[in-house]
Amino acid sequence: MEPLAIVVRLAEAIRDFFVPRYRPELHYMRGPGPASRRTFKQHALR
């Protein structure tokens, strides 16, 4: 690896440590979870 590439990767790592980038795919909720299914089934049985 050439020296400039090492410096660039180090600078990116430092920047990401102090100012992390927002990655929406990490926070995306894919729908209702198991707790809401249990609640819905309890209400449906009444």
pLDDT band with cut points at 50, 70 and 90 for residue 45? low
Q: How far is CA 37 from CA 16, 17, 30, 45, 46, in A?
A: 38, 38, 14, 12, 15
pLDDT at residue 21, as a whole number: 85
What is the pTM (predicted TM-score) of this model? 0.45
The mean predicted confidence, pLDDT, of the chain is: 83
pLDDT at residue 9, as a whole number: 96
Q: Which residues of 18-43 are buried (b: 16+ CB within 10 A; e: fewer)?
A: eeeeeeeeeeeeeeeeeeeeeeeeee
pLDDT band with cut points at 50, 70 and 90 for residue 13? very high
7 vs 27: which has the higher pLDDT? 7
